[in-house]
């Protein structure tokens, strides 16, 4: 039977299954507040539109030490939709979501599910949970944008996709791309080139490479750079011990903030000459200072990193790049050292800017994407290594989920709010997601119970730091 007939998963998708563990399922959660959405309307919408993506009819299944997509023989969208008729008040909504996100998805069905609470106070709540192997945050946000419409009378126009998974072609394209990056498009390495003796160090190797013909010299330099960055990445130490470094249990607690205009954040970042992500990282740093459980003396010596997901699609060749209009994975990550001992917002944001500048030429995002893609092919002994394929455990993570810039409609019903919780990749103690929708920004927080973190207070501290930073920039 051919690989296509077996539906073997692409490595960029299978890697997320190999990287997860029972206490840390890599599942993305999205919450929509939708006015007037009924169970009957949602069932019909899922059947016609959501089911048009063939991938959602398949479930991941282990196969010969790897993973494949297995079509669900009895697929029915009704099995993936729970209707909750409780009239959740505002204080009751967060505990309900905490309960849902702590439940594992059934492995005998496709790994996604919807919950609808149409009677919730403030507007119906639609909760979506989907495993990372189906789509990363960028892909999922684009998929939702295809399902949204500009008016209640419209229907989605461009939606759905076939489910090709040509593993053999993907591997050949990956091999060619890596060869081109290292050896150049037209000049493979000489077959009779002698390898340096084992005792030759990196400096001697680089000097020897400089004496080779031009193309091979460049290839050797590229290979050395890749090897050096890979070695540096894998040698990274874990963060300093704190409340956020305790082993995960799989029981989650989450919250989300009130909305602020995203334009204010963008304007403040522009005034400071930094990115909006730098501003948010500085605010998270301020909130972490009070939550790590470290003394002032320990804070001065602490090494606290923030994991930042990075979309690497633009760095990949078209043959390996998953289209944003289709479910898929095209994200890596990088670690940002936080100025946890910083005394002011200005100090923190500019130290973060310098650290970001240092990472500008880093290959970390591509390396983590590649290592994740390789995970499915590795022996179980390596797969079960803690944190593989991530080199070290960060204390926190900051992701983004960018929805539509204006109000949209789902199944003819107005979507008033959109927030998302990204998975705690690399066992990050706490994960923050910056969610943008209709010109508004909200921060969401999710943490494991083992961190003993008051997520509501942590989120409040982040927003207070952000509000103060925005106010100070407006005053200037």
pLDDT at residue 333, rounded to an integer: 93
Rounded Cα gap, residues 134 and 60, in angstroms: 9
CA-only gyration radius of the chain, Å? 23
Q: What is the pLDDT of residues 29-69, one digit of tens each?
A: 999 999 999 999 999 999 999 999 999 999 999 998 899 99
Rounded Cα gap, residues 185 and 11, in angstroms: 24
pTM over 0.85: yes
> Beta partners for 442?
435
pLDDT at residue 145, rounded to an integer: 95
> Beta partners for 443?
434
* DSSP line for 96-146: HHHHHHTSPPPTTS-SEEEEEETT-TTSEEEEEEEETTT--HHHHHHHHHH
Question: Residue 218, exposed/middle/buried by CB under 10 A (0-12, 13-18, 19+)?
Answer: middle
Choose between 229 and 205: higher pLDDT.
229
CATH of 1-166+243-476, one of 3.30.559.30, 3.40.47.10, 1.10.760.10, 3.80.10.10: 3.30.559.30
Q: What is the pLDDT of residues 61-97, one digit of tens each?
A: 999 889 999 999 889 999 999 999 999 999 999 999 9
| DSSP summary character for residue 196 | P
The answer to whether 397 and 308 are in contact (CB under 8 A) is yes
Helix axes 276-291, 262-272, angle to 10 degrees: 100
Every domain of the chain and the residues it spans: 1-166+243-476, 167-191+202-234
pLDDT at residue 219, rounded to an integer: 64
Helix axes 455-475, 345-358, angle to 10 degrees: 100
The answer to whether 280 and 466 are in contact (CB under 8 A) is yes
Highest mean predicted confidence (pLDDT) among 24-33, 221-230, 232-241: 24-33
pLDDT at residue 231, rounded to an integer: 80
- Give the number of C-alpha atoms closer than 13 A to the C-alpha of residue 303, restricted to the C-beta side: 9
Q: What is the pLDDT of residues 334-392, one digit of tens each?
A: 999 999 999 999 999 999 999 999 998 888 999 899 989 988 888 777 766 656 677 68
pLDDT for 207 beyond 50: no
């Amino acid at each position: 039977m051919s690989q296509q007939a077996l539906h073997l998963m692409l490595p960029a998708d299978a890697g997320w299954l190999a990287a997860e563990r029972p206490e840390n399922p890599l599942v993305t959660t999205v919450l929509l507040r939708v006015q007037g959405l009924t169970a009957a309307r949602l069932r019909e919408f899922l059947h016609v539109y959501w089911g048009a993506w063939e991938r959602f009819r398949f479930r991941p299944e282990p196969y010969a030490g790897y993973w494949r997509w297995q079509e669900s023989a009895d697929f029915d969208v009704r099995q993936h939709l729970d209707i909750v008729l409780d009239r959740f008040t505002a204080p009751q909504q967060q505990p309900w979501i905490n309960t849902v996100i702590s439940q594992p998805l059934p492995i005998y069905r496709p790994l996604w599910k919807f919950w609808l609470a149409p009677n919730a106070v403030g507007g119906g709540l639609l909760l979506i949970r989907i495993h990372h192997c189906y789509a990363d945050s960028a892909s999922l946000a684009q998929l939702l944008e295809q399902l949204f419409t500009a008016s209640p009378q419209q229907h989605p126009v461009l939606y759905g996709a076939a489910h090709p998974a040509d593993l053999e072609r993907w591997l050949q394209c990956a091999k060619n791309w890596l060869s081109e990056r290292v050896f150049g498009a037209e000049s493979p390495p000489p077959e009779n080139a002698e390898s340096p003796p084992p005792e030759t160090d990196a400096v001697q190797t680089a000097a020897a490479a400089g004496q080779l013909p031009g193309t091979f010299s460049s290839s050797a330099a590229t290979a050395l750079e890749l090897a050096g960055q890979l070695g540096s990445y894998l040698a990274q130490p874990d963060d300093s011990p704190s409340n956020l470094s305790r082993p995960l249990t799989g029981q989650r607690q989450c919250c989300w903030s009130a909305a602020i205009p995203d334009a204010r954040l963008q304007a403040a970042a522009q005034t400071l000459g930094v990115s909006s992500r730098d501003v948010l990282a500085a605010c998270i740093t301020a909130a972490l200072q009070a939550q790590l459980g470290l003394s002032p003396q320990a804070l001065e010596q602490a090494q606290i990193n923030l994991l930042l997901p990075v979309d690497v699609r633009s760095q990949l060749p078209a043959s390996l790049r998953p289209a944003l209009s289709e479910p898929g994975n095209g994200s890596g990550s990088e670690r940002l050292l936080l100025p946890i001992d910083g005394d002011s917002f200005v100090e923190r944001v500019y130290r973060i800017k310098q650290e970001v500048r240092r990472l500008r030429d880093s290959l970390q995002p591509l390396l983590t994407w590649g290592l994740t893609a390789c995970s499915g092919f590795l022996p179980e002994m390596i797969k079960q290594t803690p944190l593989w394929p991530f080199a070290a455990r960060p204390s926190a993570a900051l992701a983004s989920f960018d929805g539509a810039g204006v109000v949209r409609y789902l199944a003819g019903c107005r979507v008033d709010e959109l927030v998302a919780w990204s998975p705690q990749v690399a066992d990050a103690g706490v994960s923050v997601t910056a969610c943008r929708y209709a010109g508004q920004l909200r921060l969401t927080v999710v943490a494991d119970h083992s961190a003993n973190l008051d997520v509501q207070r942590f989120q409040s501290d982040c927003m207070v730091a952000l509000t103060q930073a925005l106010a100070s920039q407006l005053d200037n």
